[in-house]
Each structure stands twice: as structure tokens, then as C-alpha cells.
């Protein structure tokens, strides 16, 4: 059995087209251009690639996209000052601080300083809390993108056993909360595996929907997957030969799963599309004077 492909690249292109139309309508109705500000600290090559992609994507849909670059040795106070300035700028509707940050900076303190109404990454404690109680404002982009992929493919989450490998605040925890929400794309029974889990492979084999976000190249093998399961790969790694892979051993698992997301061409493109979605939502809330 060869798995069907969860094509995040194609879906993301469709969504970006929809967002471009919505941005044009919003600008015509309000005279406001949704604005995304990205803060990049240091010269991390991967971060620079991600930031260029986000800036390019925002401009392609008609938003304003500005990148604020700071040196790797910047002080935490200087970074916080920049965040405060962006909070106060009415032309900025979404603020994204590219992670990871240098060791001298407390990431949590920086995230907490972002105005939660501009926190388009969905990482601020206020937005995390709203998601937890079922009243989401901004959902972290990767989990939101995964949910949209499942919905678009017609994959039923209601009553399904979803197993998430990883408990990060960026993917694992918000993904669990999103799948637990009542309604479309939710109502799943959710298990989260982490470094303290005994025999994660055995737990993974029970999943109808398996989401791998563990940060280890090709760790999820066919033996981890129940035949017919849906497998979503969040990981991205560069092999010694320069090729890209995910947390899932794609050739093996594609022979067992019913659906699988590739790397690249899967979750990553959807993450950027959902960032654009959140930024437009932030602009709409600001225009309506809502919190």
C-alpha cells in the first residue's frame, strides 16, 4: 500500500491566493495595509532563510513586510526596546521574533513582551491560555497548518486517536489542544509522547493520526506506524549529503500509512501560510478595535 500525499505545498499556494484576495478586499474597505514585522537576531543561516521566506510571502499577498535585524551580541534590553516600539506602531499588526535567540536572551521574556494582540506566532501566554479554554485568538502556525491539511484531505479527526510525538510549546502542546477542541478538525482523543514516555514506538503504533515533532532525523520507522494511519512529519533536517529529510523515514512509512506529509513540501509551507492568516486576522481585529 502506497500512502497518499498530504501536499502542503499545493494547499499553501491555494491558501495564499485566498489570503491575497482577502487582503485586497480589506485594504479597499479600510484603507489599511496589514503589516508584519519580523525580528531577526544574529546570522543563523537557517533563520535567515526562514525570515526571507516570510517577508517574501507577506509582500506577495499584499501585506507590508519589514525585517528588523539585530546583531547576535545584542542585549536583551535592546531587543525588548525594539519589541515595545513595534507594539506601539499602528502600522504593525503582527510581530514575529525569529527563534532561536542567542543564549544571553530569555526567549520567554521576549515572547511575553509582545503585545498579545500582535502575537501572530501564538506563543504569548495569553494566547496559549485562550487556546486552552477553547477561545483561540491566534493559534501557533504549525499546528494550525496541520489541522488545515487534515481538514482539506477529508481526514476525520472526531473520535480518532491522535498521537503527538513531542511536547514543545511551539508544536506539541498547542497541537494537542487544537485536536481536543470541539468541532471540525478536533474532537480527537489525544496522547502526547515525550522523553519520559516508556516505549514511544508502542504508543505510536496505536495512532490513527501520528504527528512527529521530535527533532530527530528519520526516527519514526514503519514499525512505529499502524497500517492505514495518517502520518504528519513536522521535522526538518539536513543530511551529510545536503539532502533534506524529516523526523519520519519516508520510504518505509509511506508503504504502511494511508496518508503522509513529505519533507520538504509538507508542513513547512503551511506554517508560512498560517502566519499570513494570523497577520490578516490581527489587522482585522485592530481595525475593529477588538482585543
pLDDT by residue (tens digit) across 171-222? 999 999 999 999 999 999 999 999 999 999 999 999 999 999 999 999 999 9
CA atoms of 259 and 70, how far apart (whole Å): 41
pLDDT by residue (tens digit) across 218-238? 999 999 999 999 999 999 998
Tell me: pLDDT of 251 over 60: yes
Tell me: pLDDT of 291 over 60: no
**Strand, helix or coil for residue 37:** strand
pLDDT at position 216 is 95
Question: Counting beta carbons within 10 angstroms of the beta carbon of residue 199, is it exposed (0 to 12), middle (13 to 18) or buried (19 or more)?
Answer: exposed
Which of 55, 98, 147, 181 is an active site residue?
98
Mean pLDDT of the chain: 96
Asked whether 277 and 17 are in contact (CB, 8 A), the reply is no
Tell me: pLDDT of 40 over 80: yes
Tell me: pLDDT of 116 over 80: yes
Q: Per-residue confidence at 57, pLDDT binned at 50, 70, 90?
A: very high
pLDDT at position 254 is 98
User: In order of start, what are the domains of the chain with their CATH numbers?
Assistant: 31-116 (3.40.50.10860), 141-267 (3.40.50.720)
Task: Please identify which residue in the block is written with the cell numbers 506529509.
Answer: 261
Q: Is 98 a catalytic residue?
A: yes
Q: Per-residue confidence at 290, pLDDT binned at 50, 70, 90?
A: low
Which of 54, 118, 173, 226 is an active site residue?
54
pLDDT by residue (tens digit) across 122-167? 999 999 999 999 999 999 999 999 999 999 999 999 999 999 999 9
Q: Is 9 a catalytic residue?
A: no
How many degrees, rounded to 5, is the angle at CA 131 between CA 127 and CA 135?
100
Which of 7, 55, 119, 121 is an active site residue?
121
Which is higher by pLDDT, 49 or 273?
Answer: 273
pTM: 0.95
pLDDT at position 12 is 98
| C-alpha distances out from residue 249 to 51, 125, 232, Å | 28, 34, 12
Q: Is 89 a catalytic residue?
A: no
Tell me: pLDDT of 18 over 80: yes
Q: Per-residue confidence at 44, pLDDT binned at 50, 70, 90?
A: confident
Q: Residue 146: name the closest of 269, 264, 238 by CA.
A: 269
Q: Per-residue confidence at 45, pLDDT binned at 50, 70, 90?
A: confident
CA atoms of 223 and 219, how far apart (whole Å): 11
Amino acid at each position: 500500500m502506497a500512502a497518499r500525499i498530504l501536499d502542503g505545498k499545493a494547499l499553501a499556494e491555494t491558501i495564499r491566493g485566498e489570503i491575497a484576495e482577502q487582503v485586497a478586499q480589506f485594504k479597499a474597505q479600510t484603507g489599511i495595509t496589514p503589516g508584519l514585522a519580523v525580528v531577526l537576531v544574529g546570522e543563523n543561516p537557517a533563520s535567515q532563510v526562514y525570515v526571507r521566506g516570510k517577508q517574501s510571502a507577506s509582500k506577495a499577498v499584499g501585506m507590508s513586510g519589514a525585517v528588523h535585524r539585530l546583531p547576535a551580541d545584542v542585549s536583551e534590553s535592546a531587543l525588548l526596546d525594539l519589541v515595545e516600539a513595534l507594539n506601539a506602531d499602528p502600522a504593525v499588526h503582527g510581530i514575529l521574533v525569529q527563534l532561536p535567540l542567542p543564549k544571553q536572551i530569555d526567549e520567554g521574556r521576549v515572547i511575553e513582551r509582545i503585545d498579545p494582540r500582535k502575537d501572530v506566532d501564538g506563543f504569548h501566554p495569553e494566547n496559549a491560555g485562550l487556546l486552552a479554554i477553547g477561545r483561540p485568538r491566534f493559534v501557533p502556525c504549525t499546528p494550525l497548518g496541520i489541522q488545515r491539511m487534515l481538514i482539506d484531505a477529508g481526514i476525520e479527526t472526531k473520535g480518532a486517536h491522535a498521537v503527538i510525538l513531542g511536547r514543545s510549546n511551539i508544536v506539541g502542546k498547542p497541537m494537542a489542544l487544537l485536536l481536543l477542541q470541539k468541532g471540525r478538525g478536533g474532537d480527537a482523543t489525544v496522547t502526547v509522547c515525550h522523553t519520559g514516555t516508556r516505549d514511544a514506538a508502542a504508543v505510536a503504533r496505536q495512532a490513527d493520526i501520528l504527528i512527529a515533532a521530535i527533532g530527530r532525523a528519520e526516527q519514526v520507522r514503519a514499525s512505529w506506524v499502524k497500517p492505514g494511519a495518517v502520518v504528519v512529519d513536522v521535522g526538518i533536517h539536513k543530511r551529510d549529503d545536503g539532502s533534506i529529510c524529516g523526523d519520519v523515514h519516508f520510504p518505509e512509512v509511506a508503504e504502511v500509512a494511508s496518508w503522509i506529509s513529505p519533507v520538504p513540501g509538507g508542513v513547512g509551507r503551511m506554517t508560512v501560510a498560517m502566519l499570513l492568516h494570523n497577520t490578516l486576522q490581527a489587522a482585522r481585529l485592530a481595525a475593529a478595535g477588538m482585543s
